[in-house]
A and B are shown apart, each in its own frame.
Chain A
Amino acid sequence: MTAELLEVTSFTLLMAALATLVMLPPGLALAWVLARRQFRGRSVLETLVSLPIVIPPVATGLILLQLFGRRGPIGRILEPLGVEVVFTWKAVVIAMAVMGLPLFVRAARAAFEQVDQRYESIAATLGARPWRVFWTVSVPLAWRGVVAGLVLGYSRAVGEFGATIMLAGSLPGTRTLSIAIYRDAELGNDAAVMALIACSVAIGFVAVYGANRAGMTP
């Protein structure tokens, strides 16, 4: 394995892991809210969460670019704080998290829906406030689905391309496996492309095989 291959692979795995951490809190909250709460605008929220699955990833990347660019609503807040996102590793994490979030939410939501609400109700009669019920009853009983969702979100993050290249570009400090494959294919580096593809297949295989073996079919 060449130094570049090793670097790109480890960078991708690390960024995907960070993206998974980033998607965890909002993903868990969204999954629980969609599974348990009835409210006006629920369908709109549900649609918004799933939107990155159905619109072209490049379009998602462009939207993120508008948001996090220097003149964007989020970029404008971050710039005075000295935080630059676009074309940095942070952009990779954000693009991966946004693209992985819908898959995580879907799996975790299904898991919460499977939890018998009787347990949550009884926990409340035992004096537990909603926050405690969530962490001590809902999450432990839904953990398989939650972890399966994290595996799905992580796998999606590892393979992310369209949104990442728009927000983070193809620079030495932002180059993930997918972007490296695209770049080497364009340059005609067939051997490097094959090695990168083999690496991607191996990572995907290990993730899905591991999840299946643990009974957490994504």
Chain B
Amino acid sequence: MSAIVIEATVQLGAGAKAFRLELPRVGTVRTLALYGPSGAGKTTTLELVAGLLRPDTGTIVIGERVLFDHESGVNLAPHARRIGYVPQDLALFPHLNVRRNVLYGARPAGANPSPADDLERASRLLEIDALLDREVGDLSGGERQRVALARALMTAPDLLLLDEPLASLDRGTRSRIMPYLQAVREEIGTPLVYVSHAADEVRRMAEWVFVLSHGRVVAAGPPNDVL
């Protein structure tokens, strides 16, 4: 995975918060985790990278790609960043059924592979075939999570950001969803940033973890060494 460098001040509520995160490229690591307690800046980091939060100053760079640079006025729009983002609340569109949710970010009809191929692959990987014609309001928590993952994968992103994907699920559902997350990690090959405050999840999902505190990295390394 390319290095991710964020050096930014962000207006959060009443005050400005300074972020200085350097997540260097680590060998062939493709899955890294951001770990830390609530308020450590995990979700803010993802929103900065996805373009949902605009810093007041600073830069956001992934590898050689400048996503934001206050000095030169660069601010790549979220639709142009090619970054898949599954937020904690999933934000499935309530007015669209599962199929239309999943196809929302599909590649154009003439693309190779075609949207139909992408849908077939995402459906197989996340076992959502039987859900495609259901309304999102009728889905269980685990089903919603799988649909949100499939929707993000359909855009064929360069980087996939998962924000606490298991946090809102009960213990049983969590253990059922974890294999799907691992399957996404193994089969898709898209670099993945996994955010969690649960050490066991991080150990199972990530090859490398950055421990955050107050918008800064305070420890980094293989999960089994750091956590």
Contacts and interface: CB of A to CB of B under 8 A. Distances in A.
Contacts of B85: 122, 125
Nearest to A118: B91
A44 B94 CA distance: 35
A16 B10 CA distance: 48
B78 interface: yes
Question: Counting chain B CB atoms within 10 Å of each CB, which of A121, A137, A141 scores highest?
Answer: A121
B48 interface: no
Contacts of A45: none
Nearest to B100: A136
A124 B104 contact: no
Interface stretch (A49-57, A126-134, A162-170): A126-134
A207 interface: no
B138 interface: no
B191 to A, nearest CB: 16
Contacts of A128: 79, 104-105
**Interface range for B:** 20 to 34
B93 A119 contact: yes
Nearest to A139: B95
Contacts of A137: 93
B196 interface: no
A124 to B, nearest CB: 4
A126 B87 contact: no
Interface string A91-133: 0000000000000000000000000101101111111111000
Contact of B83 (A123, A125, A140): A125
B51 interface: yes
Given A119-B91, A140-B95, A126 B155 contact: yes
Size category of the binding interface on chain A? 10 to 19
Contact of B94 (A123, A130, A136, A141): A141
B103 to A, nearest CB: 10
B95 A125 contact: no
A119 B78 CA distance: 13
Contacts of A141: 94-95
B89 interface: yes
A62 B104 CA distance: 49
Instruction: From B50, B52, B87, B154, name the one whose CB has the most chain A CB atoms within 10 angstroms.
Output: B52
A124 B91 CA distance: 12
A126 B85 CA distance: 8
A147 B29 CA distance: 52
Contact of B105 (A116, A127, A130): A127
Interface string A13-42: 000000000000000000000000000000
Nearest to B105: A126
Contact of A127 (B52, B91, B95, B155): B155
B81 interface: yes
A81 B168 CA distance: 64
Identify which of B78, B87, B95, B104 gathers the most chain A CB atoms within 10 Å of its CB.
B78
B84 interface: yes
Contacts of A136: 104
B34 to A, nearest CB: 18
**Which of A118, A122, A128, A129 has most B Cβ within 10 Å?**
A122
Contacts of A127: 79, 82, 105, 155
Interface of B: 50-52, 77-79, 81-85, 87, 89, 91, 93-95, 104-105, 151-152, 154-155
Given A116-B91, A125-B78, A129-B79, 14 more contacts: A118-B89, A119-B93, A121-B91, A123-B93, A123-B104, A125-B52, A125-B155, A126-B79, A127-B79, A127-B82, A127-B105, A130-B79, A136-B104, A140-B95
When A and B form their complex, which 6 residue pairs have the shortest distance between CB atoms, in order from nearest?
Answer: A126-B105, A124-B78, A122-B91, A118-B91, A125-B85, A121-B52
